[in-house]
Structure 1
Amino acid sequence: MQRSLRWWLTQAAVERTDQADQIQNGLMQDLFALRLSLSKSLDLSQPNQTQPNQTQPNQTQPNQAAIETLYNTLYTNLNQLSAALSPPYIRESLPLAIQAMLQQWQAAHPEAKLQLALPATWDLEPIARSQVLLTTLAALLKLSEAAAISALSLELSQESGQAKLILRLVYRDSATRSAATHAKELRYLRDCFRCLMPGWCSHQAQPLADLWQLRWQAYPVENSLENPVEFEKPQS
């Protein structure tokens, strides 16, 4: 278990380092470029030195387009960083948070088919538990070589106080299916889910697909994580 938790913490540290790099080498550079473009635009809007009543309209229009492009890039990068730091809807609804996360994943992989079966209502859960579930889901997609996935289906349900998530990943061919095997990391991930959720995680390998089942005891947000409900392994 120590190795599994060490792996989990290492992945979190790497992710934070990547986010810091994105800020320093991405967002801050975009802000600097935007500042230069705005400064140039202000200079061009000043009256002509030889003809004080005239500005330079022919040059301001291309610069305005450059500013809009920089703004859109900056907005997109900030939105992605915000979603990485705190997934959308994580405070309001777990199904909505899962939907937003997978829609963003599909936007990056438009060739993959996405099918979701999510309940319209869901009991509000502690943010920490929702974060564990979303982190587990993101890690599964990352370890499964997302570029090789041709279809993804996910079903979330709740019955008699027990929640269940079924994730099915379909691969393009057997070669990509074999390349997507990360046995050690997936074992670490299962261990961490069982410990941190706490819950139960199973995996079934198929010729061209992976089937994952995540189960946990659902309890409302007022129940403290300091005294979690013990989850018993379901009978097969």
Structure 2
Amino acid sequence: MTLSPARLLALFLCAGLAACAHNQAPCPPVAPGSAGADGLPDWHDVITDPDHVRLRDWRKAFVAGLDQARQGGHGAEIDAEGRLLDPDAGTDGATLPVGHYRCRTIKVGAKDTARTSYIAYPAHHCQVRPSDKLTRLVELDGLQKPSGRLYPDGPSRTVFLGTMILGDEQKPIAYGRDADRDMVGAVQRIGDKQWRMLIPDPAWESKIDVMELVPEN
């Protein structure tokens, strides 16, 4: 796991205190989501090791999924989506404003030959709402509803860390408790009032999930 400068500093200070203390009590761990230099929680302090690998390799998963879908005869559908399914379409302005969105998910590629390599689902309702010092993205309807916090990561990307709400569950489980439910995503702006969230190597079904987000108003 990559440690942020804030976490490295905290660990260094803690080690120094332990060395000079008369009663060397165990050093308490840095709380997940501890504030970085900008005062906001840092995703490096929260992300699990498997999700860190997925996030790092998002483009590799995207290209592999597109290649597999094209080989499966879905080239025209991919081309019709334009920038949404272009791995290099991201631009600055990745921060999702608070509000309601129409969100639809396309599953690209398949984890095994028994599954189709391209599935486009109807749009659902999503919301971006304040969450402490950050914001939270929540899908409001459907059988599989992502819910997670959005962490700033420069002008061209926001990092999503969350979990999947299944069926009639009323609230998400905490991130990091169940690897099959954990989700990591890279949010990018791809046009005027158009964003996407890339979910590489999800636990089930696809090579990558691509969620389009368009404001409802």
Same fold (TM over 0.5): no
More strand by share: 2
More helix by share: 1
Q: Which has the higher contact order (CA 8 A, sep 6+)?
A: 2
**Normalising to structure 1: TM-score of the pair?**
0.30
**Normalising to structure 2: TM-score of the pair?**
0.32
